[in-house]
Amino acid sequence: MNRKAVKVNKHVVEIPEQSPWDSGFSIFKRRIGELMQLSGNDDSVIDDDDLIPYYRMGESETFVLSALGSAVCG
């Protein structure tokens, strides 16, 4: 991962560079994981390749959980 160095108050801080949708996707993925854990499912069975199409289509977290439900719960 590329990093960008920024000087803040005389300290150099490295910030990971992200593509424009990475930060939003990370939040989306975290929400899906949290909801799966709350419902008693293992969130480690879902990888990024499964979630990216739903994120790009703007699907809600509840829709994604429903769509993946049979694969996750079964």
Average pLDDT value for the chain: 76
What is the reported pLDDT for 70?
Answer: 47
For residue range 36-47, what is the model confidence (pLDDT) as tens digits? 887 777 767 788
Is 50 among the domain residues? yes
Q: Are 14 and 2 in contact (CB under 8 A)?
A: no
What is the domain extent for residue 48? Answer: 19-73
For residue range 3-46, what is the model confidence (pLDDT) as tens digits? 666 666 777 666 666 665 557 888 888 888 888 887 777 767 78
What is the reported pLDDT for 74?
Answer: 43
Is 30 among the domain residues? yes
- 21: Cα within 13 Å, side-chain hemisphere: 12
Q: What type of residue sits at position 28?
A: F
Is 7 among the domain residues? no
Domain total of the chain = 1
Mean pLDDT of 52-66: 91
Is 11 among the domain residues? no
The pTM (predicted TM-score) of the whole model is 0.60
Q: Locate 58 and state its tokens.
A: 């703007």
Is 1 among the domain residues? no
